[in-house]
Amino acid sequence: MRYGDSEAASPAHRQIKATLPCHFARIVFRDISRATDSRTVRVCLIAPRVFLTHKAPQLLWPRGDEKDWAYLLGVPCSIPLDWYSRRFVETNVTYFLLNQFPVPRPPRSNKSWQRTVELPGRLAAADKRFGTWAKAVGVEYGALQDDDRRTRRLRCSPLRPDRGAARAYIRDIP
């Protein structure tokens, strides 16, 4: 049973240590932001059993799997969403603002969705603490090796996740 299940509201469920979000990899965002920062919305994947303060709120939701989380890790880190967020954010990124930001929802068969899952998913899985998460996403975990051709492609193409997210935004326009 995972923390997104509907039974999560029961008192008995909350007593089970394995159902607490802190025991899983999860997405957090930086609360503090300024107009002079290079990026307005900063999102990252936090390893299991890492505890944070209220300045790094975490995203939890009842539906979806790790691939959906990887997609949601890529979209907020993209230039299109950053451009949009600068119109509203002054000093803090809050749940109220974050919930209003548009997130394109292409089908899983869409190449833009797949790219937006794969690249941030691999870059976020930095070491063995992310092994379970990486396996569920379908990517490797660990340090990026310089001799790996795929790694060179990841490092030499920093805008590839942005390109995938931008295409998803364009196709999601009514």
Condensed to tens digits (0 to 9), the pLDDT of residues 40-60 reads: 888 889 999 898 888 889 888
Q: Contact 51/22 with Cβ under 8 angstroms?
A: yes
For the segment 141-152, the average pLDDT, to the nearest whole number, is 67
Is pTM beyond 0.85 here?
no
Q: What is the 3-state secondary structure (H, E, C) of the chain?
A: CCCCCHHHHCHHHHCCHHHCHHHCCEEEECCECCCCCCCCCCEEEECCCCCCCCCCCEECCCCCCHHHHHHHHHCCCCHHHHHHHCCCCCCECCHHHHHHCCCCCCCCCCHHHHHHHHHHHHHHCCCHHHHHHHHHHCCCCCCCCCCCHHHHHHHHCCCHHHHHHHHHHHHHCC
Q: What is the pLDDT of residue 9?
A: 62
